[in-house]
Amino acid sequence: MEARRPPTMADIAAHVGVSRQLVSLVLRDAPGASDETRRRVRDAAKELGFSPHVGARSLRRARSKDLGVVFAPAHSTEPEIVEAIYPAAAARGYDVILSAQTSTHSTDQAVDELLGHRCAALIVIGSDLDHSGLRSLAERSLVPVVDVGQGKRNQYYDIVRSSGDKGIEELVDHLAELGHRVVTYVDPSAMPAGALRRRGYERAMKRHGLPTDILSMPGDYTAGNYFEEAGSTAAHQLLRRRKLPTAVVAPNDDTAVGLLHTLVRNGVRVPDDVSVAGFDDAPIARLTSVDLTSVRQDPGLMGVSAVEAAVRRVEQGGVRPRETVVETSLVIRSSTAAPRRR
Amino acid sequence: MEARRPPTMADIAAHVGVSRQLVSLVLRDAPGASDETRRRVRDAAKELGFSPHVGARSLRRARSKDLGVVFAPAHSTEPEIVEAIYPAAAARGYDVILSAQTSTHSTDQAVDELLGHRCAALIVIGSDLDHSGLRSLAERSLVPVVDVGQGKRNQYYDIVRSSGDKGIEELVDHLAELGHRVVTYVDPSAMPAGALRRRGYERAMKRHGLPTDILSMPGDYTAGNYFEEAGSTAAHQLLRRRKLPTAVVAPNDDTAVGLLHTLVRNGVRVPDDVSVAGFDDAPIARLTSVDLTSVRQDPGLMGVSAVEAAVRRVEQGGVRPRETVVETSLVIRSSTAAPRRR
DNA sequence: TTCCGCTACTAGCACGTGCTAGGCGTGATG
DNA sequence: CATCACGCCTAGCACGTGCTAGTAGCGGAA
């Protein structure tokens, strides 16, 4: 029961009866080996269960072929972005190294570990860092940094974000077309990308000549189900009014779901009495029992864009960071409908 | 705008005016350096932004101090386990390397990457591998493997799982104590850990002298919201019956939520008309608009147990793998109550 | 003085891989 | 016949770190 050492190229070489260099050459698909030898080396590698030592490889290699990704497992839309990063990176010849940001494992710790692996670039998804935090990260890490989420174009790091303002505008347009005139916006004030989305609401309402009605919900972003709670609280506030709006919009699906369920539980029919809409098109919005009209910000496209931005900065040394805006699309489901006649 | 090379120990040594070895010694907290030198080396390391090259380190080091973790970002309870692994590993002096299992990145690929990093052990969470897959993984990887999820004790790999059968039994006990006599069990048949939980239901019902009523729902496990859909379909089937049961139990929260929402939408009051309970105590169960009675399988404890099992196998070479069963606890919320008088 | 032990440091090899520079044989070209 | 090109292979160094085996310097004991 001894712990055997994993096989190296030297072991393969000895097994086949050639030099170690030739094995390296074959496994790198470099020219200069006969087909017969290639076959024998590959067979031996498979037989011995060879797995290249990425540490040794990154040590020798001039430039790294790894993308470091920081993400928060607790947040909902991020897993989909992470999933999209894998094939995008693979298509460009890069490997992915993940590091989680949690309450016991800070963004800085995650970044330090990734830098220890000598990643070629860092992709930070939905980080808790503000602009100055990201800026200093970009400066000290010496590698290109891509922030996925929110922020404005700058010269320190790349940004990939969805067009949250235009998405909300489209949503309001949809409601206005259905005939809604009283559309309330519930704003969980602690939401990172919230300001942009609220602006979209304000702009669209103004364009339609309708009065804005914003319900601002304070709270702690880091709390477990803050968003859903904010929606629920907002629903109770609305229920205390003499008259309900005909439609309610929230800048994320969790808040909208909190609204929806609380309204339904209190005898309000959705969409008959009140239309409800969210943003993100999270899995929860697609449940048949929720079936929420929402705005989809394509997580796959965001992942691909992040990889593209990172690879571009890596391979064209010295180019300026840029901002990539991913278009959103309206997903109409059964939680919105024309308002009842009064 | 040239891409500078990250600083090495040799750079620090040159900066301070000592040998490279002494820098290594200081940064490893090994004895044999004066306090004054330690301070100067540490200051220089900080000033230059030194980050140790983990590749070089793992190359030289006899045994690795990394735990490789395979997880599926799309699944719901796993992020919480991953979060718990970080502090547990840190407490024992291990680093964590994550690799995701997605539709475009198989478990095998994820494992190969982790083995490339020369992890000391592998922790596989909620894998799609069956027993023989895990067995061959354990055999070819040459490192201890810990499977978190389900399975039976065996000599090839460790198992960490929750006591799903006892958890469901407790849940049925709770319902029986409330006075329920007609308790239906909805079984999404494709669920990996499903058999164990169903046995718990059957055992408890028998103990209480009640007839079992199992609604088996076929379907594809890998589909996006299969579980919630299964619950929704089951609700429709129940609604077609002449008489509803007074309580419904599901082996996971998604199915229970599908049940609950579909029943509510069709005018059935929960818990007044029907009590509904799930399993997992997933975030969705805790939403105030759902407030589902459930069985909590402590994800934190599962993460810690997985790390413990892995470290034990790593540090006591040759010990046999074992099975760790994490106790569950009943979480009573407002979706269950005493049945109405008939 | 010599020897010993201690502190503070350095020399040097090893880990597994990538890559450049060569070497050796064979067949084609001058 | 000498030279060259080419296909196939090997020698050897480098990457950044951990660790063992030293080696000076210095104070104290014999």
Instruction: Quick: pLDDT tens for A212-229.
Output: 999 999 877 665 678 888
User: Of A252, A282, A286, nearest to A150 (Cα)?
Assistant: A252
- For residues A43 and B81, give the distance between their C-alpha atoms in angstroms, rounded to a whole number: 38
pLDDT at B306 over 80: yes
Least confident interval from B3-7, B125-129, B221-225, B244-248: B221-225
At residue B138 the predicted structure's pLDDT band, cuts being 50, 70 and 90, is: very high
Q: What is the spatial distance, in angstroms and rounded to an integer, between the CA atom of A144 and the C1' atom of C23?
A: 43
Choose the weakest-confidence range: A3-12, A132-141, B118-127, B267-276. A3-12
SS3 A328: strand
Kindly list the residues from chain B whose CB atom is less than 8 angstroms away from the CB atom of residue A257.
287, 289
The model's confidence at residue B342, banded by pLDDT at 50, 70 and 90, is low
The answer to whether the beta carbons of residues A5 and A43 sit under 8 Å apart is: no
Per-residue pLDDT, averaged over A44-51, amounts to: 94
Nearest Cα neighbor of B338 from B207, B205, B213, B246 is B246
Interval B155-172: pLDDT, tens: 999 999 999 899 999 999
User: Using a CB-CB distance cutoff of 8 angstroms, which residues of chain B are in contact with residue A278?
Assistant: none
**Per-residue confidence (pLDDT) for residue B32, from 0 to 100:** 86
For residues B127, B128, B131, B133, the Cα torsion angle rounded to the nearest 10 degrees is -100
Residues 254-283 of B with CB under 7 A from strand D: none
Half-sphere exposure of B171 (CA within 13 A, CB side): 40
Q: Give pLDDT, residue A11.
A: 94
A 8-37: CB within 7 Å of strand C: 8-10, 20-21, 24-25, 27-28, 30
- Please answer whether residues A197 and A165 qualify as being in contact, where contact means their C-beta atoms are separated by less than 8 angstroms: yes
* CA distances in angstroms from A57 to A24, A48, B47, B117, B270, listed in the order given: 11, 19, 28, 10, 60
* H or E stretch at B66: strand B66-71
A2 — pLDDT class (breaks 50, 70, 90): very low
Q: Do A105 and B98 touch (CB under 8 A)?
A: no
The CA–C1' separation of B334 and D6, in angstroms, is 82
Q: Which of A8-12, B202-206, B247-251, B296-300 has the lowest mean pLDDT?
A: B296-300
pLDDT of amino acid A58: 93
Mean of all residue pLDDT scores within chain B: 92
Smallest Cα distance from A204 to chain B, Å: 30
Angle between helices B20-27 and B9-16 (to 10 degrees): 110
| Cα–Cα dist A110/A106, whole Å | 6
Residue B2 is predicted with a pLDDT of: 45
- Tell me, rounded to whole angstroms, the distance of Cα B89 from its chain centroid: 15
Tokens of A57: 């490889």
Question: Which nucleotide, over all strands, has the C1' atom closest to the CA of A13?
Answer: D10
Residue A330: which H helix or E strand, with range? strand A328-331
* A216-230, B199-213, B229-243: least confident range: A216-230
pLDDT(B153) > 90: yes
Q: Is the peptide bond before B31 cis (omega within 30 degrees of 0)?
A: no
State whether B288 and A112 contact (CB < 8 Å): no
Strand D proximal to B63 Cβ, under 7 A: no
pLDDT at residue B1, rounded to an integer:
34
Between B64 and B91, the more confident residue is B91
| pLDDT above 90 (res B61) | no
Give the nearest chain B residue to A51 (CA atoms): B116
Name the DSSP letter for residue A293.
Answer: B
Mean pLDDT, range A130-148, rounded to an integer:
94
Task: Answer whether A73 sits within 8 Å of B73, measured CB to CB.
Answer: yes
What pLDDT, on the 0 to 100 scale, is given for residue B3? Answer: 56
Shortest CA distance to A256 belongs to which of A243, A267, A270? A270
Higher-confidence residue of A331 and B192: namely: A331
H helix runs in B179-221, sequence order: 194-207
The two structure tokens encoding residue B154: 């065996």
Least confident piece of the model among A2-11, A48-57, B152-161 = A2-11
Q: Tell me, what amino acid is at A129?
A: L
Are A287 and B117 inside 8 Å of each other by CB? Answer: no
What confidence category does residue A192 fall into, taking pLDDT thresholds of 50, 70 and 90?
A: confident
Residue A281: Cβ-neighbour burial (10 angstroms; 0-12, 13-18, 19+): buried
The pLDDT score that the predictor gives to residue B222 is: 60
pLDDT at A77: 77
Cβ pair A82:B99 closer than 8 A: no
- Cα–Cα dist B45/A2, whole Å: 39
Task: Let me know: does A309 contact A302? Beta carbons within 8 Å.
Answer: no
Does residue A53 approach strand C to less than 7 Å at its CB? yes
Residue pair A340/A275 in contact (Cβ under 8 Å)? The answer is no
**Concatenated DSSP letters for B123-174?**
EEES-S--HHHHHHHHHHH-S-EEEEE-----SSSEEEEE-HHHHHHHHHHH
- Structural contact between residues B309 and B93, judged by C-beta atoms closer than 8 angstroms: no
Q: Which nucleotide is nearest to A32 (CA to C1')?
A: D8
CB pair distance less than 8 Å for B6 and A264: no
pLDDT over threshold 90, residue A75: no
Alpha carbons A95 and B116: distance in angstroms, whole number: 12
Instruction: Categorize the per-residue pLDDT at A1 as very low, low, confident or very high, splitting at 50, 70 and 90.
Output: very low
- Do B23 and B13 touch, CB atoms closer than 8 A? yes
Say yes or no to pLDDT of B4 above 80. Answer: no
| CA B187 – CA B175 distance, rounded (Å) | 18
Dist. CA B76–CA B78, nearest whole Å: 6
B24 touches strand D (CB under 7 A): yes
Report whether the peptide linkage leading into residue B271 is cis, meaning its omega lies within 30 degrees of zero. yes
Q: Is the pLDDT confidence value at B192 over 80?
A: no
Q: What is the pLDDT of residue A85?
A: 97
Q: Alpha-carbon distance B262 to A256, whole Å?
A: 18
Give the integer Cα–Cα distance in Å for A96 and B224: 24
Contact A169, A204 (CB under 8 A): yes
Question: What's the gap in Å between the CA of A136 and the closest CA on chain B?
Answer: 12
What is the per-residue pLDDT across A169-181, written as a single tens digit (0 to 9) for each? 999 999 999 999 9
Predicted TM-score (pTM) of the model is 0.87
CA of A117 to C1' of D15 (A): 14
* DSSP H helical ranges for B222-298: 226-239, 253-265, 283-286
**Three-state DSSP class for B191?**
coil
Stretch A284-305: mean pLDDT: 90
Percent of chain A with pLDDT over 90: 76
* Window from A296-305, B193-202, B249-258, B284-293 with minimum mean pLDDT: B284-293
Distance CA B140, CA B157 (A): 12
Distance of alpha carbon B157 from alpha carbon B223, whole angstroms: 28
* Smallest Cα distance from A117 to chain B, Å: 6
Q: Tokens in use for A282?
A: 């999270």
Per-residue confidence (pLDDT) for residue A313, from 0 to 100: 94
B314-323 per-residue burial string, b: 16 or more CB within 10 A, e: under 16 = beeeeeebee
- With beta carbons under 8 A apart, name residues in chain A contacting B334: none
Task: Report d(CA B225, CA B254) in Å as an integer.
Answer: 8
**How close does chain B come to A218, measured CA to CA in Å?**
17
Residue B72 has pLDDT above 80, yes or no: yes
